[in-house]
Amino acid sequence: MTAGALTELVATVLAAAAVGAPAAAERPPVKWDAIPYGTARRSDMRAYARRHYGIDSYRLAQPKVIVQHMTEGSSYSSAWGIFAPNVRDGELGELPGVCSHFIIDPGGRIHQLVPLSLMCRHTVGLNYTSIGIEHVGFSEAGVMASTRMRQASLRLTNWLRCRYDISLSNVIGHNENLRSPYHRERVGRLRTQTHSDWPTAKMRPYRAALRKLTC
């Protein structure tokens, strides 16, 4: 086989291998601002996953869902301060402490708090397979009205969606968690637990904007 033929064959094989593989959207600027996630928190997350999902691991493997949240606070620092300590939460009284993978601040800066290889407690029934994104503020309308926050949120979500081959329908608001096909909860009292942030009425225009972006 000639050198030219070999080059052509290699190019053909590589092109064929790329067919069907998820494309990669451009990663937006992300500031690493880690919360403590040491041995104790990992142990608590593993115990939580066993109790709620029947999974003996604290690791997030091949996430299938992206969940949008509101912090219900006015500053990034207050949100980070809630997620940083590994303490029982005031709502459900469980360990590990609540957390989210990302927070988008009012200036549109994206902060990553936890590696994407680790579970975070942000959405009952979906923590085992979801990435959490928090938006600083009190209303979804405020996020969508802020050019910087809206664009940062859409760029981050699109990058994650493309990276993990997550369908548009599995980009959801916290209020939509009970309707997710991936919802899974072994603890009876929590099987209908949800929050009011990012209901379907607010997620429809968000997903419509996201649909315009490509991988």
Residue 193 covered by a domain: yes
- Count of domains observed in the chain: 1
Looking at residue 148, its pLDDT comes to: 98
pLDDT, mean over the chain: 91
> pLDDT tens digits for 166-200?
999 999 999 999 999 999 999 999 999 999 999 99
- 9: confidence class by pLDDT, cuts 50, 70, 90: very low
CA 204 to CA 17: how far, in whole Å? 35
Is 83 part of a structural domain of the chain? yes
Share above pLDDT 90 across residues of the chain, in percent, rounded to a whole number: 88
**CATH number of residue 192's parent domain:** 3.40.80.10
Does 63 map to a domain? yes
Quote the domain boundaries for residue 203.
39-211
Per the document, the length of the chain is 215
Residue 4 lies in a domain: no
The answer as to whether 138 is a domain residue is yes
